[in-house]
Amino acid sequence: MEINELVSVVVEGPADKEKCPFCHKKAHDFPGKKRMKPSTKVVSDPDALGVQYLEGAKESYYATAAHHLISAIQCYSRVKRLVRMGSLIGYDINNKINGIGLPTVWNPYSGQNYGDIQDEKEKQKIAFRMMKKAKGQWHVGHHAFEINLPSRWVDESGEDEVCHIVSYDTTVIQRLVELTLCFAMIDICKDNDEDAGSVLKDTMNDYSNEIKEHLEAFKGSTPWKSAPYFVSERAFEYAVAAKGGKI
């Protein structure tokens, strides 16, 4: 399913923006808050993630990228109703649970900028070397690239070479849409419970931790277990090579 199709499931029109994002009824006082108007504004602040710098980065010619596990702009901001829910209960997409440090370019490489290198094999060699040293996915480029992922990488069924197309962004947005529909069925407004909003916060943080656990497969000898969360095509290539015993 295309991203736009996923988002359309929970899309809101002008009239909906005047309603409570949870119960979709007329705007009302939210538990613990006086007639707070929900917001759809999303700001990406990588510095607020407070990620730890990767050991030996400078000496090994890579820098540390602060990566949002649930992407703030590419994913979270697209699901407007969820953003409005989050604004009411105080969820922050830039909270530390939603961040991880990943290796990225640090120029120059032997006096040459990484982006200026024309030889793709050389660029792959550099990226592979840095991922092996940093034990993390190469964070270069956007996350919306699509890959043909063997199904056994996800469900470990043992079935051979049945592939489906996935991308980091589509996978995250699909889950966010599912969570939005789930939260819409919770009687937060009816119960008038000030702590009810913590359910959404905890669920979002749990999802961040789930993604982080996948990405941390690069710390060990089974990087393909990051599937379907590959932040770059180089990271996917590295996992394929490792699966084939070539790393």
Name which of 35, 48, 44 is nearest 78 in CA terms.
44
Contacts of 156 (CB under 8 A, 6+ apart): none
pLDDT greater than 60 at residue 157: no
pLDDT in tens, 167-189: 999 999 999 999 998 888 777 77
Verdict on whether the full-model pTM lies above 0.75: yes
pLDDT at 162: 47
Q: What are phi and psi of 67, to 5 degrees?
A: -105, 130
Place of tokens 């956007």: 142
What band does 194 get if pLDDT is binned at 50, 70 and 90? low
pLDDT greater than 70 at residue 67: yes
Rg of the chain on CA atoms, in Å? 20
pLDDT over 70 for what percent of the chain? 81
User: Are residues 53 and 72 in contact, defined by beta-carbon separation less than 8 angstroms?
Assistant: no
What band does 247 get if pLDDT is binned at 50, 70 and 90? confident
The number of helix segments (H) and strand segments (E) in the chain equals: 8, 4
User: Are residues 189 and 21 in contact, defined by beta-carbon separation less than 8 angstroms?
Assistant: no
pLDDT in tens, 76-125: 999 999 999 999 888 999 999 999 999 998 876 677 788 888 999 999 99
